[in-house]
Structure 1
């Protein structure tokens, strides 16, 4: 058998295996986001921050927003429980948010 032909066969057999392994690196797990999920979560975080910024009664500099797999976590400080409820309601109304964890504290 021709050695060059043997090399080509090995290459074409190993190519699908390499592609499969590289795709597994982009897959998500229970504690790790995939590439697409990370981008989606970044967009959700930006939308929630922008919506909070539009609300004049809230201080966006004191509210932190983090998103993991569509679950938004709000942390930081607000003046009263009504402001915390308002921030949670704003976050829930953003497209793509699955749920909101409220870790906001009163000053």
Structure 2
């Protein structure tokens, strides 16, 4: 009968450690946040593809905790403004950082 409490305690310890390792910190994402950011990145890229005249191959999109960072080379400030507006319009985006450079 002493094995059951030992097994239960071990399972509880494993569950506690597992849940802590999946939690987010200021500098790292939890599992759920990573999946959310991946979805946001895909939605931003899809919006760029649907926008005619925007060279999406030259715009890199990265998302961390809902903050979208756009980088790469673009043809004009108007293209940058259009990309930023599209990214801001995506559900889940909290802010957009503009690191794009005009060629």
The TM-score by the shorter chain falls in which range? over 0.9
Q: What are structure 1's unaligned runs of at least 5 residues? A: none
Structure 1 position 92 matched with structure 2 position 88: yes
Report the secondary structure of 1:28's partner residue: coil
Structure 1 position 21 matched with structure 2 position 17: yes
Report the TM-score when normalising by structure 2: 0.95
Give the drift of 1:57. Answer: 1.8
Structure 1 position 50 matched with structure 2 position 46: yes
* Pairs aligned (count): 103
Report the secondary structure of 1:85's partner residue: helix
1:25-104 superposed matches below 5 A: 25-104=21-100
Q: After the TM superposition, which parts of structure 1 deviate over 6 Å for at least 4 consecutive aligned residues?
A: none
State which structure, 1 or 2, has the greater radius of gyration over its C-alpha atoms.
Answer: 1
State the Cα RMSD in Å.
0.9
Report the TM-score when normalising by structure 1: 0.92
Give the drift of 1:8. Answer: 1.8
Tell me how far apart the structure 2 counterparts of residues 33 and 54 of structure 1 sit (CA, whole Å).
Answer: 29
